[in-house]
Amino acid sequence: MTALLPMLDPELIEKPRPKRSWRTKFRAAFNGLTLGIRGRSSFFVHFFFRALVVAAALVLRCEVVEWCILLGCIAMVLVSELFNSAIETLFKGLDETTKERTWPALDIGAGAVLLASIAAAVIGSIVFINRLVMNFLA
């Protein structure tokens, strides 16, 4: 690997990042979260369903374990959407030739969000149906 470095343009070789404090790392992470969420119409849909799930869990008086499961599903969907947004952001910066070869990456990212959403819907349905049955029998 190092034998190839002299052949590369020195401007293309990435210089190591200076050490960053934890505070700086967290600031960058929150900035990334803001960039990933802001302006993404799909997040509006995810946040809408998240609000429905939280409202249903409150109305049905879910227990702690059920809350953990539901919040884990919500996080899984939002995290997959953030990764998909990161892929889309990288894709926008590519030249046209590279974009032609990397279209499948966008489809894979969208597929990951779809799979996470379906899994969350199934798991949420199981939790809520169980809670409805438990409330009905009580």
31 half-sphere exposure, CB direction, 13 A CA radius: 6
Residue 110 covered by a domain? yes
Residue 53 covered by a domain? yes
Residue 58 covered by a domain? yes
Q: How many domains does the chain have?
A: 1
Residue 55 one-letter amino acid: A
For 14, 27, 49, 88, 134, the CA distances from 77, given in Å and listed in that order, are: 33, 23, 11, 16, 27
Contacts of 4 (CB under 8 A, 6+ apart): none
In whole angstroms, what is the distance from residue 5 CA to residue 77 CA?
40
Q: Is the pLDDT of residue 136 over 70?
A: yes
Q: What's 80's domain CATH number?
A: 1.10.287.3610
Q: Which domain holds residue 83?
A: 42-137
For 89-102, how does the pLDDT look when each residue is reduced to its tens digit (9 = 90+)?
899 999 999 998 99
In whole angstroms, what is the distance from residue 54 CA to residue 45 CA?
14
Residue 42, pLDDT score:
83
Residue 115 covered by a domain? yes
For 38-51, how does the pLDDT look when each residue is reduced to its tens digit (9 = 90+)?
867 688 889 899 99
Q: Is the dihedral of CA 39, 45, 48, 49 positive or negative?
A: negative
Residue 104 covered by a domain? yes
